[in-house]
Structure 1
Amino acid sequence: MTANILFSARAALWPIYEPLITRYLTKAGISFNLATDFPADQVDYVIYAPDGGIADFTPFTRLKAVLSLWAGVEKIVGNKTLTMPLARMVDHGLADGMTEWVTGHVLRYHLGMDAQIVNPNHDWVFAPAPLAKDRKIAILGLGALGEASARALRTLNFQVSGWSRSPKEIEGVTCHHGADGLSLALNGADIVVLLLPDTPATENILNADTLALLPHGARIINPGRGPLIDDDALLAALESGQVGHATLDVFRIEPLPSEHPYWAHPNVTVTPHIASETRPVTAAQVICENIRRGENGEPFVHLVDPDLGY
């Protein structure tokens, strides 16, 4: 049987993904039709992005799975018409890119590079950083991206702790979970990295109470999701010195409005949602592997749990 695959994403992505998907499915021996338009009742798989235009999945009566091009699924997981399996993007290219970005900014904070490079008074000042083995890093979120970042930082000899909603085991990383575990992960953490999904349970996970658990002058790095941080609480913590600096790549409203206080704050670094992005070559491989599985009666991978929201 030939699988009909609907590509529902920005038009600009079609010429990038079409040859890649065609190559990998042909190599896998899958018979398929791939297009940007099909009668809904003839579609077997939807390759999905929120900007592709599909809001109602009810007409897709023979759909086997929706395969997201995005790692975050908060824009689709609550769709009541989506009753078929939804797989999120777990892309090793995305994980590698995120690990490099996180590691770079952790090292920037660890080594004090901002003070060393930006020195308008030309002061010849040198304050040696502690070794990585004496620096505590907390990673909130131990999914594919968080685990990859935790492993890389541990390889550099940092003390790495992590927190997730469910129990995890990562060699060399102290893993915590649940409400009590969050406090344990944050206590004593010099640098906190946020790599959680955006769900009702994670919104404002960094707030006045949790920021108070950190040592004075701690650093925050957020390449995860904007709503993970209570912005007012973070600004207050920056003003008091409880948080020494924050590097923020994601925000509740994007692009970040020009009048937002983060732009002008001397202890905030704003980056324009660049921490990592889906790489078409590796993402196409992930999508095609799930189609191969579906066509061969094997279980899909990276399925979303609607109750958890990721």
Structure 2
Amino acid sequence: MISVALLSRPGLMDPMKSLLARELPGVTVASWSEAAARDAELAVCWKPEPGALAAMPKLKLIHSIAAGVDNILSDPTVPDVPLCRIVDPGITAAMTEFVLWGTLYIHRDFDRVISNARDGRWQRYDQRAAKDTRVGILGLGELGTDAARRLVDLGFAVSGWSRSPKQLAGVRTFSGTDALDPFLSETDILVSLLPLTSSTVGLLDAARLSRLPKGAALILCSRGEHVVMDDLVALLRSRHLRGAVLDVFEQEPLPSDHPLWREPGVLVTPHMAAIASWETIAQQVAENARRLLRGETLLNVVDRARGY
């Protein structure tokens, strides 16, 4: 039977030990703090220490516990073995719920009403039809496509940007670097659902965020590294941007003394938009372990050149 190492901050993946033991009878599972982890053949990871994977001479497979693998590929010493990710339909549904909620939170002025309520201020705002709010989805992969379709169903004016051309019913689509600025200039609520790659780190800086119309808002539920946070804060304070819902950050958990917690117009949520269950993760990791042992094609293998 295969041996497994769990590479993450201490305690994070403790639930995986019993679940993998159930899925793979006879499996050996060790946390990175245990000596046995170095000799494991399968590494299950979330933000492993730099150089950790390279220190595993028997490694045959690396498995992320999430849909994204940027937390693994950020280490240039990662060995050239197959890298797989989690694909869970439940994640798509959960992310779409979060995007719909965030859009309605801004569109129906709940952000302003909640702020007013803290001060005991009764103030109603003019209601707008959904068709008069332009929602732009940055990234039209599986997550972005599903969110865009549901927003269309609710009557919003939806556009989407992707690296390569795509067509979606009811969605105005843009593609390629040259189309990014025009896309942003026609977006009232920007939803970032891009994967994190070398080309998307810092993509939303002052220049790009300034392309959004005055009074626009941001919903960030992809990766914190997509946004230059100081630039975002500056645009919020200048009133060019109305507000932001931020679910992901370069440093997580976000420290309790971080100024974003108290920045007017910003709502911080604790990376909760879409989370696969430990049971689903264990099942998919175990299936790929069995396939590896049988010499069969692995599921959800990452194209390292693309980063997803």
TM-score by length of 2: 0.83
| CA offset digits 1:5-44 (Å, max 9, x no partner) | 4041456466633444455557xxxxx6342275756x44
* Structure-2 residue corresponding to 1:113: 110
Q: Deviations over 1:41-72 (max 9, x none)?
A: 6x4433233358971335434x4421111333
Q: Against the structure 1 CA distance between its residues 218 and 80, is the aligned structure 2 distance closer, same or farther, given a 3 Å change threshold?
A: same
Give the aligned partner of residue 69 of structure 1: 65
User: In the TM superposition, what is the alpha-carbon distance from 1:292 to its structure 2 partner?
Assistant: 4.2
C-alpha offsets along residues 248-284 of structure 1, whole Å, 9 cap, x if unaligned? 1222333434554423321212223222323112222
Give runs of aligned pairs for residues 210-221 of structure 1, distance below 5 A: 210-221=208-219
The 5 Å alignment of 1:23-102 reads: 23-24=22-23, 33-36=27-30, 38=36, 43-51=40-48, 55-57=52-54, 59-61=56-58, 63-77=59-73, 78-102=75-99
Matches within 5 A, 1:80-159: 80-117=77-114, 118-119=116-117, 120-123=119-122, 125-130=124-129, 132-159=130-157
Q: 1:246 to 1:81 in 2, by over 3 A?
A: closer
Q: 1:54 to 1:171 in 2, by over 3 A?
A: farther
Give the AA of the match of 1:173: V
Secondary structure of the equivalent of 2:159?
Answer: strand
Distance 2:95 2:194 in 1: 13
Cα distance, 1:104 vs structure 2:
0.9
Give the 5 Å matches for 1:1-310.
3-9=1-7, 12=11, 16-24=15-23, 33-36=27-30, 38=36, 43-51=40-48, 55-57=52-54, 59-61=56-58, 63-77=59-73, 78-117=75-114, 118-119=116-117, 120-123=119-122, 125-130=124-129, 132-258=130-256, 260-310=258-308
Amino acid at match of 1:74: D
Instruction: List alignment gaps of at least 5 residues for structure 2.
Output: none
Let me know the Cα RMSD of the aligned residues: 2.9
| Residue pair 2:187, 2:213 contacting (<8 A) in 1 also | yes
Return 83-92 or 5-14, whichever deviates more.
5-14
Q: Are the structure 2 counterparts of residues 96 and 54 from structure 1 closer, same or farther at C-alpha, using a change threshold of 3 Å?
A: farther
Report the CA distance between 1:76 and its aligned residue: 1.9
Secondary structure of the equivalent of 2:230?
A: helix
Preserved contact between residue 139 and residue 161 of structure 1 (Cα < 8 Å): yes
Deviates more, 1:213-222 or 1:258-267: 258-267
Whether the aligned pair in 2 keeps the contact of 1:198 and 1:227 (CA below 8 Å) is yes
Contact 2:151 2:158 in 1 (8 A): yes
SS of aligned partner of 2:52: coil
CA distance in 2, matches of 1:133, 1:296: 53
- Helix, strand or coil at the partner of 2:242: strand
Distance 1:189 1:249 in 2: 20
Q: TM-score normalized by structure 1?
A: 0.82
Whichever residue aligns with residue 262 of structure 1, its letter is L
Instruction: For residues 147-170 of structure 1, give each alpha carbon's deviation from its aligned partner in whole angstroms, at most 9, with x where no partner exists.
Output: 332233233232222222234444
Task: Write the distance in 1 (CA, Å) between the matches of 2:43 and 2:256.
Answer: 37
Alignment check: 8 A CA contact 2:6 2:37 kept: no
- Tell me the amino acid that sits aligned with residue 33 of structure 1: V
Amino acid at match of 1:278: A
Task: Give the 3-state SS of the residue equivalent to 2:208 in structure 1.
Answer: helix
The alignment-based identity, stated in percent, is: 38
CA distance in 1, matches of 2:37, 2:102: 47
- Please name the residue that 1:29 is paired with: none
Q: Distance in 2 between matches of 1:301 and 1:86?
A: 10
Deviations 1:202-222 (A, max 9, x none): 122112221222121001011
CA–CA separation in structure 1 for the residues paired with 2:186 and 2:166: 21
AA at the equivalent of 1:65 = L
- The residue identity in structure 2 corresponding to 1:125 is R
CA distance in 1: counterparts of 2:14 and 2:124, whole angstroms: 52
Q: What is the alpha-carbon distance in structure 2 between the residues aligned to residue 58 and residue 259 of structure 1?
A: 35
Alpha-carbon separation, structure 2, partners of 1:137 and 1:99: 13
